[in-house]
Every structure is written in C-alpha cells, then in structure tokens.
Structure 1
Amino acid sequence: MSPDSELPTPAQSGITTASTATDGQASLYSTSSPPETSAQIAGHLLQQCRNLLAEVDALQGLLAQRLRNPQLVEVRQFRSNVTAELRMLEKLEQQVRDASGDNGSRDSDGGGGGGDDASEQAQQTPEVEMRLLHALRSSNLPFYQAVWKIARGSCTGLIALGKRFYWDGETKRSERAAVEGRGKKQPNKDKRKSVFVDIIADDGEEWVKVSTISESRLLFEMAKKGWERESDEDEGTGSEGEGGRTILQNFDGDGEDSDEDDELELIKLARDLKRAADATRVRYRHPRLRVVIPKIEEGNVPEIDDILREMRSYGIKIECQESLSGDPTTANLARLLPQPFKRFTPTLNVDCTLLLAIVSDLSHVKDMPPLPNFHKAILRQIEVEKQQPLLSTELWPAMGEHNLICTKEAATRMCDIVETIGTATEKTRTQIMMGDAPYDHCDHNTLIQKFQELSEHPVPTGWKIPIRVVEAQSVIDAAKAQDKLPSVADEIAKGLSDINHSVFMYGWVTGLMTVSSNRTIDRQIEATIEKNRQGNNDLEGPLVWICDTARSLAGKDKDRR
C-alpha cells in the first residue's frame, strides 16, 4: 500500500475525530434513542460496525464483478480501518462482560451485550463503568459511518475512500496518476503541505471532506483559541463587510510559515483543501470541493454561521445537517461505480491502436494456444484476455451505440499492419469492420452477423459498423486558420507523429472524444498544456479516453518489434 493511500484514524486527521462528537452513540443511520450503559453501547456499536463492514464488502464484491481492474477504486484501507475498529470493540465488549462477572459463552454469531444489563451493571464499580463508557464513546466508528453514509448517499463515480494530496509545487503529481494507482509518496514530500481527503468521487473530479465535529465542540474550540464575533460598524474594520460582522482570527498573515496554532481547524481545513486542489488537475480541471458537517445545523448559532461563511469564501461547498436527507442504505451501490464514459460524445474518434485490438485474434479466441513464435508481450496479453476479455468487458461497453469514425491516416496504418502481418481471420475482420470489399454493400445487420461468425464472444447488435473514415488534415487546417485552437496547439503538434497528429488533433478541433490505448501521447499532451498554461485556468486539451490495455495481432511473430 502506498503511503499516499493511507487512511488515518480520525484522531490523526484532525477535526474529524469521533471523540469530538460524543453527543450520543446512536448510529447515523438510526433515529432511535442512544444506549446508556456500557453493555448496551458495546452491543450497539458492535452490530453497527458489522453492518458497515458488510456494506463495504458488498461494494468490493460489486467492484470485482463489474470492473476490469477493481483496485482502481481504493476502499481496502477504509475496510481495514473498520475491521480494526471491530476488533477493538470486541475487546471492549469482553471487558464489559468480564467487569460484570458474566463470563458465559457468547452467541454463535459473536453478538455482544448478552445477559441482563441491569444485573451486569450492578456488579460493576462506577469507576470501571465510567472507564468503559469513555472508551466506547471514543470509538472512531461514528466517523467511519459518516464517511460511508455520505459516500453512499450523495456520491457517484467513487475513486477512493481516503487519499492524501499535496500542494508542494516541486513534488505534486496529477490526479490521473493517483487514480491509476501508480503514484507513490516520494521521500521529499512534506506532509505539512498536504490534506487528507475522505472521499474522492465523480471519477476524481470531486473531493469530499467529512467532519463529525459538534456545535458544542466547535464553540469550545473558538473560545479556547480566542475567536470572537464583533460588529465593525463603529471601528470601520472587518472582513468582507458582511452585515457589519467580522471574525477575529488569532494568527497573522496567510503565508505557509505563519503560526497556525491558534487557527480554527475548520478554517485550516478549508484553506488546505483549496491549496491542494489548486495544485491538482483532473482532466485539465481543478477538483470541486465539498465539506460535509452532519452534526452542525446552520442558522442555530451566529458564530458558527460566520465560520461556515468563511469556509465558503474558499470556493468550497458546505453541507450541514439540514442539507442531508434520505436513507443511504436504500441507494443502489452501483451508483458508486466509476463512470468512465460520462463525457463520451455521440460520435467517437477511434485510434489505430484500438482498431487493431478489435480485429486481433487475441480478442476473439477464448483459449488461444501460446505458440512458440509468439512475442512475450502477446503471451502476456493472452493471459490477461483469459481473465477479462477486452471487447466484452471494456471496448464494446465503451463504444455502446455511439457512431464511430477514424481518420484516414489511422485507417491506412491499421490496414497496412493487418495486410503485412495479420492472419486470415484478422484480415477478414478488418474488411467487415471497415466495410471494405467484398463487404462494402452489406447492411449493418449483415456486417454484425459476419463479424459474429469470426468471434467466440457475443457481438452487440448495436455496435455501429462499418467505421466511417474521415479526412482529418483539411479539417485541422481550417480550424487553425480560423483560430479555433489555442496557441499551445502548435507546440503540441510538434511532438506528434503524422498518425497521432491526425487522430488527436482531429478529435480536438471537432470536439469529439478520442478513444485510444496510447497513454504516452495522452500524457504528453497534458504535460505540454500544463507547461504552457500561462495562467489560463480554462485551457483544456482534447477529450481522450484511454483503454487500460490493448491487443497485438496474433500474426505478430517473436522477432518483430
């Protein structure tokens, strides 16, 4: 596990500690009165923890069932923390039983709190009961429940339940690397210049931070750190002139070297989230920020409302108790699955790399024999294909019923490769997919039928073939002449081969989503844009969707490169 994937206990993450929100231990899912004795609380928390663990396990099972790579959604560390909390609660429950003199066997399901609570408590000293109550009420479970409830009830496209992001300019990395699971914490990263985000959702485009701080705890912190609420009508000072009110802060300046000991944790959190988000781009955009504070009700305490107003000044969406509604347990877990196709345009621009993958024998033969002349890369692809067929699990779902086009350069290059090293079946699939002779007069249904005859996987009837070939260069030249592309486009074009220029630049000028497995070019374009952004936060590159893997032609022999 990468250190950047750590999920700290709430005590490590500052304001989100469960111990700061011990106003009753009723589950966030329940409106019933909280239990009172240590035996009751132990049994209640144990059941709630088991329920939470079961729901997280259900999500992991769904990820394994629906995703080619379930590890792209990081929930393992969150589950590990909940499991550790369960073990701690089981130990506390046993201590409750021991203190009450009840050493009888547990129920077969491991449930806690058995026996007559009143008789058990009668045998405990007040000191022991208070110690056990304090330990149980300091459980981190309410925090984990809050994170899960908010994720399940208000998020889609889950990427992670917990990840750290940095704003150190020299060591920051893109969200793309974090999402793909390749980002590793480097030794020179300063954890003080980072923020831990509880939920990364909307396929990386939304960060959600959860705070289970209560009103009483927040007011206590404000009093302890000298925060006051005063009118600026007489003195003529104040922040933002907000109705003659101001928030006085006990620290000087906004620099990173400022003394922040007397700064409110919620304000520090808002600023740190903004810093990290400003240092991160997801598909050319900064992530949206949301802070959820389920134990605060806005409009009750003017001093707290001022704090919330200050947090919103950082461009953060703040949600309090009154904005949370509904029962998250009724929400379909499938809404948490990543949604990689949400930006797809009605027509997709298909790169040469995926055209080859679609016609390759490796994509259509379920039990491809590993022949001696196969390159080791092909042997690896055969093993991957056995586990997760590329077409049925990724490419055909991605293409759906979208119209499909490719540039003349991509089609020519693909056909040249197939003609040179392709097998007979790979050549026939190419002719069918592109609508070339002898299939140029076939209707759509006939093409699907002919393609199905050459595949051991069911070919979707809605797959839009033949793929239409378009003239790219004239369209690109016209867009440049009309200044439809930003100036950085010339710099990007310098680093592209003729075929990549036609594919990616055509997708850019037409606004079409380009589907490809050429991750190197995609990153090269992103890096060039970031290097030449020159303060233009709205600058975006072409729409690109990268397939995690590709397929070579089976005709490729061992000595070819």
Structure 2
Amino acid sequence: MSTTDPNDQTNRALATSLVTRCRTLLAELDAFQALLAQTQRNPQTVEVRSLRSNAFSELRTLEKLEAKVRAVEEDDDNDDNGDGDIENEDALRLGHALRSSNLPFYEAVWAIAKNTCSGLAVFGKRFYWGVAAEEDAAAAAGGKRSNKDKRKSVFVDIVAADGEEWVKISTISETRLLFEMAKKGWEADDSDDSEGEARTVLRNFEGDEGEEDEEDDQLELIKLASDLRKAADATRVRYRHPRLRFVIPKVEEGTSSEIDGLLKLIRGYGITVVCGEKAYAAKETQGDFLTHLLPQPFARFTPTLNVDCTLLLAVVSDLSHRKDITQSPIHHKAINRQIEIEHERPLLPKELWPAMGDHQLVCTEEAAQRFKEIVAIIGTETEQQRTKILMGEAPFTDYSREDLLRKYQELSDYEIPSQWKLPVKTVEAQSTIASARDNGKLPPVCRKVEDILSDINYSVFLYGWAARVATISSNRTVVKQIEAIVEKHRDGDEDLEGPLIWVCDTARSLIGKEKGRKN
C-alpha cells in the first residue's frame, strides 16, 4: 500500500477549509435575510440574492471537489498498479481548482459590506452611462427596457448607504498587479510640475495610437475607475451622484512607488481608495449584529417633519388601529387589499411611527383642511375622534401631549409610542413659499415643478422645499414627477436638489370608504 501523497493531504485540508468557510458565509447571509424578513415591510428592498446564489453555487462546486479529493486519496492508498503519475496529475489539477475558488472574493465582498458599510441596498448591480443610462432610467420608471450596450457599463459589487455609495472590490495581489503593469508597459515617470515640485506620473508608452489602442493597453483597475466615474456621473440618488469607494485588500499602500502612483491615478477620478487591512476595518456600530446593514431611510430627516394629507388619513384610519377588521364584500376592493396588507405588517408600528419618531410634526393649512373634509364626510366616529386628538382640536385644545397620547391610546389596539409628538401643528405655507422664492432659497426650477402640482400638493411639497424640512408622503407618483423635472431642468447645476421627501410604500384609506365610492 502506497504512502499518501503530500498533495493529497494539502488538497484535503484546503477542500475541508473552503467548504467550512463557504457554509459559514451562507449562514451569515441567511441570518441577514432572516433579519430583513423580520424588520422590513418588503425584504426584497435589500437585494442579497445575487451574492447568496453565487456562494451557494460555489459551495456545490467545492463539495464536488472535496469528494474528488477523497476519491483520489483512496485510489492512491489502494494503488497497486503503478498509476501514481496519473493520480498525482489529478491531485495537482484538483489543487489548482481549489486554489482558483471564487470563495475568497465572495468572502471579501461580505466582510467589507458588514464591516464598513451601512444601509445596504444591493450586492452586484450593473450601472450604465450615455444612452444606456437614459434607457435604464426609463425602464425603472416603467418604460420599455431595451438591450443596453454593456460596454458602456460597470458592475458594482456593493451598493450601500441606501444607494448613495458604490463599492468596487478587487482582490488582485500586489505581485499580480505589478506584473500586469509591466506587461501593459506602465512605468513610473518622475518629472517636475509647473511649480517645480517632484511628482510621479504613471505612463503607458504604448497607448498613443488612438482610443481603441489606449483601451487595449489600459490597466484593468484604471478602466474600472474610469467606468465607475462615468456611470456615477450618469446616476443620481436623491439628487446626488453616488460617492465611490475602491477596495483593494491584497495591496498595501507605501510598498511600491509604481502602485502608489496607480492609486493616485484612481483617486484622481474622485474615488476613495482603501488598501490592505484598512479594507476590513469595521465601523463603530450600535445595536445587534448586522442591524447596521438594514436600510436607513430616516437618516436625512430634519427635526421637523412635514406630513402630507395621505399620511394624516393613514394615522387616523380604523384600518391602522383595529386588529379585528377583516375583509368583507361590503368593503371596496382597495380596502380589502389594505386589510390584507395591514394584517401582514401593521403600518403604524412598523413604518409610520418609526419614521415620525420624536420629530415635531407639522402640516400645511391646505393639507389639514382637505384631511378634515374627508374625515367629516366618510370617517367613522372613531376616525373623527382620532382626528380631533391628532390635531389638538376641541375638546382636546388644552390637553398636554401626554394626555393626547392617553386619549389616542383608548382608540387603538396598538401601543402608542411615548415619544410621538402630538398634536400635529398646522402651518401657513404660502408666505413661506413666497419668501423663499423672493430670497432665492428656492431654485428657478421650482416654477416648473409648480406647473404639475395641484393646490394641495403645491402647498405640501413646496412648503417642505422652502422651509428646508423633510416631507413624508405616500404620493409616490407626484414625487417621481418632481424628481424628473428637477433632473430635466438641472442646466448644468451639479448641486441642485429638489425637496427632501420620504415616500411611505403604502397608505391607509378610511374604513368609511364604501364600495364603489370614488376617491
């Protein structure tokens, strides 16, 4: 019986380690998906599927390789036919396959996400520029998606900060990077700038024959940096271009002048570059494991929140407070759908109260008037009572906040949060809007926005914009229209921003809305 080949022992240990690590990665991804299901109205808002699918496929591949390693080892132990050379070749091929595993990259993506990111949005997404970016935006708005040119795109490994940060990861080693730089003809060129100070410039002496030749000779990291910049410049999230971070964990800064020069070039694209151990340096986070990766939609909220009429109705609706309401033929189909959604995930405790927190709440006179009119016409007795408490109206005019909360609690099956600031204060919007316009606090594009707004929406959204307070609403259609108009009429103003608006995914009608009644 032959002695076990050292290659077999090495392969066995490597295969076992990789399989164990891959299962650990999948367990953590599953734990995060469970956390999303537990905390989010729509867990798919955070896209983890791509990374998990890749890791799961890698596990299946590694398990097969592990089985083959065992088979080769057993054949080696039972070798009586002199086939040792063939079996050694098999062991070498298996060793190469194991060392070529994609698992280290998937581990790096997850480690960098969980240790350095917050507000995770998606793992793995392609972004475009040029015409392709316009088509992508149109498709996101419900238009027809065409076959876009992937040559004008970049694949981003992590989208974090609720969409405002893109992270690209390269696990290239320092040795491999230096080899590629030499192969492409990149050299460090020490020269003097216009002020006589020495600087290092990376040059490719083979890349002066036109754009096509330049791209062929371009280093992959430089091309990625350029593509990231182009795609980011064609993309806006809440009126801003995403900030960019390039993470290269296997390269240490300060060990090679050539690599340092390359990193300087990448930073020249407005990209933050993080190398070595810093790539995995964990942010200081509070709370339980992985909770910092959850969406953080309230991060930019102002101390005062401007509440739209749609959400005032949701706050007083019986649908939002009574757990015993069930679907019925007497209800409008939209009401029955809201009842179903409410039973799955209650709106107030899971979304609206966390959004409102301890913020001062205001609404415009126009929104308050329309809200009260609707409640007066179709609201139930309890919905009308909640409205008076919410707005601090008679007989609750002189009630303290604590007393208002106590009265509200009597009309709800849910525990009213103690920090909720009642009553909602009514504000006069028109003078604030006019003053902001006259003083230049509202950009000229506000005139274009005004043209598409009803009187109530004008008062709500323009007030929030003029007063520099966040508006909360469920009117997604109008919000999308406002964003589109601001972008269309940006006219080169890179700092132009529209009103800060948070959109609640769902609203609640009043239960008094009868079947067949129009909005």
TM > 0.5 fold call: yes
Alignment partner, residue 69 of structure 2: 96
Q: Percent identity?
A: 58
What SS does the aligned partner of 2:426 have? strand
Aligned 8 A contact 1:166 1:193 in 2? yes
Alignment partner, residue 70 of structure 1: 43
Out of 190, 194, 197, which is 2:149 matched to? 190
Alignment partner, residue 203 of structure 2: 248
Deviations 1:500-534 (A, max 9, x none): 11111111111100000011111111111111111
Counterpart CA distance in 2 for 1:346 and 1:407 is 17
Counterpart CA distance in 2 for 1:281 and 1:36 is 52
C-alpha displacement at 1:476, in angstroms?
1.1
Counterpart CA distance in 1 for 2:142 and 2:111 is 28
Out of 463, 483, 493, which is 2:450 matched to? 493
Q: Does 1:455 align with 2:412?
A: yes
In the alignment, residue 299 of structure 1 is paired with which amino acid?
G
Aligned 8 A contact 2:190 2:201 in 1? yes
In the alignment, residue 130 of structure 1 is paired with which amino acid?
L
Out of 139, 143, 154, which is 2:116 matched to? 154
Counterpart CA distance in 1 for 2:448 and 2:420 is 36
C-alpha displacement at 1:123, in angstroms?
10
1:454–1:244 CA distance, 2 compared to 1 (3 A): closer
Aligned 8 A contact 1:515 1:544 in 2? yes
CA RMSD of aligned residues (A): 2.6
Alignment partner, residue 473 of structure 1: 430
Counterpart CA distance in 1 for 2:301 and 2:147 is 38
Deviations 1:188-245 (A, max 9, x none): 3111111000000111110000000001111111122222223346xxxx99988243
1:514–1:439 CA distance, 2 compared to 1 (3 A): same
Counterpart CA distance in 2 for 1:232 and 1:263 is 21
Aligned 8 A contact 2:116 2:281 in 1? no
Alignment partner, residue 47 of structure 1: 20
Counterpart CA distance in 1 for 2:195 and 2:118 is 35
C-alpha displacement at 1:176, in angstroms?
12
C-alpha displacement at 1:154, in angstroms?
0.4
C-alpha displacement at 1:125, in angstroms?
3.2
Alignment partner, residue 269 of structure 2: 314
C-alpha displacement at 1:183, in angstroms?
7.6
* Matches for 1:260-279 after TM superposition, within 5 Å: 260-279=215-234
Alignment partner, residue 366 of structure 2: 409
Aligned 8 A contact 1:367 1:386 in 2? no
Alignment partner, residue 139 of structure 1: 101
Runs of 5+ unmatched residues, structure 2: 1-7, 78-83
What SS does the aligned partner of 1:208 have? strand
Counterpart CA distance in 2 for 1:490 and 1:456 is 44
C-alpha displacement at 1:246, in angstroms?
2.5
* Matches for 1:329-408 after TM superposition, within 5 Å: 332-408=289-365
What SS does the aligned partner of 2:90 have? helix
Aligned length: 503
Alignment partner, residue 4 of structure 2: none
In the alignment, residue 437 of structure 2 is paired with which amino acid?
K
1:430–1:524 CA distance, 2 compared to 1 (3 A): same
Alignment partner, residue 502 of structure 1: 459
Runs of 5+ unmatched residues, structure 1: 1-34, 104-114, 116-121
Out of 210, 220, 235, which is 2:169 matched to? 210
Counterpart CA distance in 2 for 1:438 and 1:487 is 44
In the alignment, residue 103 of structure 2 is paired with which amino acid?
L
TM-score (norm 2): 0.92
In the alignment, residue 263 of structure 2 is paired with which amino acid?
L
C-alpha displacement at 1:251, in angstroms?
3.0
Aligned 8 A contact 2:138 2:145 in 1? no
In the alignment, residue 253 of structure 2 is paired with which amino acid?
E
Deviations 1:45-67 (A, max 9, x none): 11111111111111111111111
Deviations 1:222-273 (A, max 9, x none): 122222223346xxxx999882432222434896x66512210000000000
C-alpha displacement at 1:78, in angstroms?
0.8
* Matches for 1:160-239 after TM superposition, within 5 Å: 160-169=122-131, 171-172=133-134, 186-232=145-191
Q: Does 1:538 align with 2:495?
A: yes
Out of 428, 435, 438, which is 2:395 matched to? 438
Aligned 8 A contact 1:514 1:545 in 2? yes
Alignment partner, residue 81 of structure 2: none
Counterpart CA distance in 2 for 1:454 and 1:43 is 59
Counterpart CA distance in 2 for 1:145 and 1:281 is 29
What SS does the aligned partner of 1:161 have? strand
Aligned 8 A contact 2:132 2:152 in 1? no
C-alpha displacement at 1:97, in angstroms?
0.4
Alignment partner, residue 8 of structure 1: none
In the alignment, residue 356 of structure 1 is paired with which amino acid?
L
In the alignment, residue 385 of structure 1 is paired with which amino acid?
E
Counterpart CA distance in 1 for 2:495 and 2:44 is 31
Aligned 8 A contact 1:49 1:86 in 2? yes
C-alpha displacement at 1:165, in angstroms?
0.6
1:91–1:241 CA distance, 2 compared to 1 (3 A): farther
In the alignment, residue 135 of structure 1 is paired with which amino acid?
A
Aligned 8 A contact 1:239 1:246 in 2? no
Counterpart CA distance in 2 for 1:418 and 1:253 is 72
Aligned 8 A contact 2:139 2:145 in 1? no
Alignment partner, residue 287 of structure 1: 242
